[in-house]
Structures are given as C-alpha cells and as structure tokens.
C-alpha cells in the first residue's frame, strides 16, 4: 500500500470519528441520528475525493514515465558513463540509442633552427613560440542500432569554429555499411588514424603538406569481414570540405582502399600507431588508390582563378605491425598530376616513410621516423629524421610528447608547414632542426 492510499484511509477514519463525536452532542435521538448521518456523508465524500486524487496522481506519474520511455532517443531510463578518452556517453538501457561527447586538446611549443638568411637584416634563423594546435569537439551518436553519426568542430585562437567531420553511417547488415557526408577519403592509413593516436607530435611532412589528410564530401560503402575490409568512395576530391556542390574544383573523384589483417583478431588494434605492452600482436597490410578528374573549361565556376583544374591519380601501400610493446610502420605514396593547362607538364611525386616505437617502461615510449620526399616540382629532396619520447600519464588520454627533427637538405615551400614546425629555407641552406613539445588531453 502506497503512502497516498494510507493517507486516504486516515482521512476516512478521521471522518468517521468526527461523525461519532458530532452525534454525541445532539439533544434528542432523532437529532443525534440526523447529525451522525450528515457527518458520515461528509466523511465519505472527503474519503472519495482523497482516493480520486491518489488515482489521478498515479495516472500522471504513469503518463510521464511512458512518455520518457517512448521518446526517439530513449527506450528506458537514461544512463551517463564517463571514460577517459571516450568522453561522456548518454545511453538507454537497451544500448540502441546513445550520444557521446568528447574532445581533444593539444598545447604545443615549437623551436625551429635554420641557417641565417644571408643579406636579410634582422633574420637570424631562429623561430619559437607556443600554440594551441588543436581544440576539437566531437559529437558521436547511435540511433536504433542501424544509424550512427559523427560531427566534429575545431576551435583555434583567433579563428572561427570550423566544421571538420559531419557524416552518418547506415549499417545495412553485419557486412555492409553506407556512409554519407564529410569525412576523410580512405587513402592514406597514416591520415585515417586520428591525431590523438599518432606516435610523433605531428603527422609526416607529406601528410601535412598534401590533401591526403583533408576531408572530402561524398558517399562511401564499406564491406568488412573478420580479416579483410574494402572501402569505396565517390566524392568531390581532396581538400573539398565545407564547399558547395558547384565549387568547380573537380568534376568528381573515386577512392578505394583494401586492408588485410594478416595477424590479429581486432581491427581496433590498428586505430593507433602505439602498441602498449598488454596489446596482442597484429599485422595489417593495405593498398589504396584515388583518381580525381579536374573541372576543365568551366568558366562559370573557376578554381583558384583558373578555368582548369588538374587530374590527379594517387596510390599508396602500407604495412602496420603492432607487437605488444613495440610497433613498426612503413608506407610509400605516389602521385601523378596532369595540370590540364597548355605548356605545363605533368608531375610525379613520391613519399616514403618508416616509423617505429618501443616501450622502455609500461608508460614511457621511445620512437623514431624517417621520411624521404621526391617531388618533381622540388629541386631538393630532403631526408627528414625525427626521434622522440612519449610519457603516457593515462594512455593517449593524457600524454606528454617531445621530439626533435632534422632535414638533410633545403626545405622548399612544398613541404614547409606550421603544423610540422618546418620553415622554408633560403636557397642553398640546409640542416634545418626543429624541436616540438606537446601536452595532449583526450576526454
């Protein structure tokens, strides 16, 4: 019996006592009978009103609970779970509907040392400073098991918030998934791995300087089996994010990638370069290709002031080994560009990279990376060597990183980048050195 029902009974009992007491003060038997009858009727009326109020409260409570349980987002009582690196997740009891909010913050100090610019006053070849490299907010959700979505924004000092990812997935069945929106094209494995899970402070010079890391807009289908995965996308081409449908940069593009998990049982093991000591061993081999055909002769929607944009064919092959306490990664990327402009020749570019790391303790990791860039448009072909150390305070969710890099030859405009800490060298200058320190929080 509920407290409300108990109160109703108490009200009824009190009414009966009042009726008996009232009848005791009547002067004649007839008056006492009439008084008792009137008091009893009042008491019964009060009791009925109390019972009706209790039933009304019960109906209101039930309607409120039913409304909450039948909303689109929630099938049952909501729960909130907080996990470092996984953010804040709100979900229902069934797990079919959820919303996750997380963010990545990377604060960085960079020191660059290069040869003095001869003949240029007040330029001593030393540049240093602090920066917020990334402050990225993620919204990830699931709706009725079949639909998932991702939306992310970047907020940097002195700049407006910028949309990074905005796409949704529909799980057709256990094997097939359809994706639509703005996402990374499935080409370079290095760039498909999130920034929070890179090994060095920043991605390679080739990845930073070219469109392999930028988003595109389009659609994609994914076919996944326990040991291989195929992704195929029709899209707008590299660096076509936050653009309108008639931007005119390209007529279209196709991107495809095939991954084979030769060793291992979990694809998630290859979503980060580092391989902690308690991780199982795994080997992933991948090949990918991308072709985009330029917008030729469309004077109504010129690109960068030109009527023609180039045709580009890009391909890559890579291997990633996770050894449980150490890791190795190697890749080669080729790019052929047809400018579609009279008098300008086609170019062929190649980028090579080998990277590896080893845990000295359970939370201290030593790593190194070698890059070689061979671009037709560059007269210099530098080797870039980077070595560094990671201190995992709480895995990748709270990490301190330090690395130092050295370029053997003149660094041209084609590969200099703020994000990598490399500056353009003057002609004939080489031996550029950069130091990067970073504190990363991933919540």
Q: Is the separation of the CB atoms in 416 and 422 below 8 Å?
A: yes
- Extract the runs of DSSP E, i.e. beta strands, from 323-432: 326-338, 347-359, 364-375, 383-392, 398-407
- pLDDT band at residue 213, thresholds of 50, 70 and 90? low
What are the Cα distances from residue 212, in Å, to 115, 152, 154, 351? 30, 19, 19, 12
Q: Is the separation of the CB atoms in 124 and 79 below 8 Å?
A: no
Query: Residue 278: its pLDDT value, please?
Result: 94
What are the Cα distances from residue 38, in Å, to 18, 19, 25? 11, 8, 14
Determine what percent of the chain falls in helix, strand and coil, rounding each to the nearest 5: 20, 45, 35
pLDDT over 60 (residue 198): yes
Residues paired with 331 in a beta bridge: 318, 353
- pLDDT band at residue 60, thresholds of 50, 70 and 90? low
Average confidence (pLDDT) over 89-116: 89
Who has greater pLDDT, 205 or 55?
205
Who has greater pLDDT, 273 or 378?
273
Average confidence (pLDDT) over 148-176: 90
- Which residues, other chains included, contact 323 with Cβ-Cβ below 8 Å and sequence gap of 6+? 275, 281
Query: Residue 414: its pLDDT value, please?
Result: 81
- pLDDT band at residue 310, thresholds of 50, 70 and 90? confident
pLDDT over 80 (residue 178): yes
What is the Cα–Cα distance from 352 to 206, expressed in whole angstroms? 9
Q: pLDDT for 337-361, tens place per residue?
A: 988 777 788 999 999 999 999 999 9
- Six token digits for residue 96: 């079919």
Q: Is the separation of the CB atoms in 144 and 169 below 8 Å?
A: no
Query: Residue 309: its pLDDT value, please?
Result: 76
Query: Residue 385: its pLDDT value, please?
Result: 97
The per-residue pLDDT of the chain, averaged, comes to 83
Query: Residue 334: its pLDDT value, please?
Result: 94
Q: Could you tell me what percent of the chain has a pLDDT over 70?
A: 77
Query: Residue 351: its pLDDT value, please?
Result: 93
In angstroms and rounded to an integer, the radius of gyration of the C-alpha atoms of the chain is 34
14 three-class SS: helix
- pLDDT band at residue 362, thresholds of 50, 70 and 90? very high
Q: Is the separation of the CB atoms in 255 and 217 below 8 Å?
A: no
Average confidence (pLDDT) over 308-337: 93
Instruction: Give the up-direction half-sphere exposure of residue 404: CA atoms within 13 A in the CB hemisphere.
Output: 4
17 three-class SS: helix
Query: Residue 12: its pLDDT value, please?
Result: 52
Query: Residue 360: its pLDDT value, please?
Result: 98
Of 305-309, 325-329, 346-350, where does the model show the most confidence?
Answer: 325-329
What is the Cα–Cα distance from 331 to 333, expressed in whole angstroms? 7
- Six token digits for residue 441: 């929080």
What is the Cα–Cα distance from 184 to 199, expressed in whole angstroms? 19
For the residues of 245-272, what is the DSSP string, one character each?
Answer: TT--SEEEEEEEEEEEEEE-S-GGGGSS
What is the Cα–Cα distance from 342 to 321, expressed in whole angstroms? 45
Residues in the chain: 443
Q: Is the separation of the CB atoms in 215 and 207 below 8 Å?
A: no
- pLDDT band at residue 11, thresholds of 50, 70 and 90? low
Q: pLDDT for 256-279, tens place per residue?
A: 999 999 999 999 999 999 999 999
pLDDT over 70 (residue 412): yes
Who has greater pLDDT, 2 or 364?
364
- Which residues, other chains included, contact 79 with Cβ-Cβ below 8 Å and sequence gap of 6+? 90, 91, 92, 93
- pLDDT band at residue 302, thresholds of 50, 70 and 90? very low
What is the Cα–Cα distance from 372 to 423, expressed in whole angstroms? 17
The gap from C-alpha 188 to its chain's centroid, in whole angstroms, comes to 17
- pLDDT band at residue 137, thresholds of 50, 70 and 90? very high
What is the Cα–Cα distance from 145 to 81, expressed in whole angstroms? 18
- Extract the runs of DSSP E, i.e. beta strands, from 184-281: 216-224, 228-235, 250-263
């Amino acid at each position: 019996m509920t407290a409300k029902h108990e109160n109703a009974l108490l009200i009824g009992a009190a009414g009966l006592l009042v009726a008996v007491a009232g009848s005791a003060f009547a002067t004649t038997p007839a008056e006492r009978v009439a008084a008792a009858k009137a008091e009893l009727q009042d008491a019964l009326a009060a009791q009925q009103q109390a019972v009706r109020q209790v039933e009304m409260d019960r109906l209101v409570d039930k309607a409120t609970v039913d409304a909450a349980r039948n909303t689109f987002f929630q099938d049952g009582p909501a729960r909130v779970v907080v996990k470092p690196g996984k953010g804040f997740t709100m979900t229902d009891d069934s797990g079919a509907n959820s919303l996750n909010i997380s963010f990545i913050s990377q604060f960085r100090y960079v020191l660059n040392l290069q040869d003095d610019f001869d003949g240029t006053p007040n330029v001593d070849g030393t540049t240093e400073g602090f920066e917020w490299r990334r402050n990225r907010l993620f919204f990830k959700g699931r709706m009725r098991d079949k639909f998932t979505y991702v939306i992310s924004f970047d907020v940097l000092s002195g700049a407006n918030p910028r949309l990074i990812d905005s796409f949704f997935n529909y799980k057709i069945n256990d094997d097939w998934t359809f994706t639509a929106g703005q996402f990374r094209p499935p080409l370079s494995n290095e760039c498909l791995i999130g920034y929070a899970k890179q090994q060095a402070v920043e991605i390679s010079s080739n990845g930073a300087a070219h469109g392999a890391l930028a988003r595109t807009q389009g659609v994609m289908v994914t076919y996944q089996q326990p040991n291989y995965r195929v992704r195929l996308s029709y899209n707008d081409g590299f660096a076509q994010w936050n653009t309108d449908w008639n931007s005119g940069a390209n007529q279209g593009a196709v991107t495809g990638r095939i991954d084979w998990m030769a060793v291992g049982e979990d694809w998630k093991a290859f979503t980060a370069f580092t391989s902690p000591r308690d991780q199982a061993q795994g080997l992933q081999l991948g090949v990918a290709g991308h072709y985009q055909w330029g917008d030729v002769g469309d004077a109504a929607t010129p690109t960068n002031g030109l009527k023609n944009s180039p045709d580009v064919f890009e391909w890559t092959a890579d291997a990633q080994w996770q050894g449980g306490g150490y890791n190795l990664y190697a890749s080669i990327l080729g790019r052929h560009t047809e400018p579609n402009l009279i008098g300008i020749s086609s170019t062929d570019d190649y980028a090579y990279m080998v990277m590896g790391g080893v845990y000295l303790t359970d939370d201290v990791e030593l790593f190194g990376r070698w890059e070689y860039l061979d671009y037709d448009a560059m007269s210099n072909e530098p080797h870039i060597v980077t070595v560094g150390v990671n201190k995992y305070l709480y895995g990748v969710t709270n990490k301190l990183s330090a690395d130092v890099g050295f370029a053997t030859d003149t660094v041209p405009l084609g590969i200099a980048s703020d994000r990598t800490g490399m500056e353009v060298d003057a002609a004939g200058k080489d031996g550029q050195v950069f130091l990067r320190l970073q504190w990363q929080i991933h919540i």
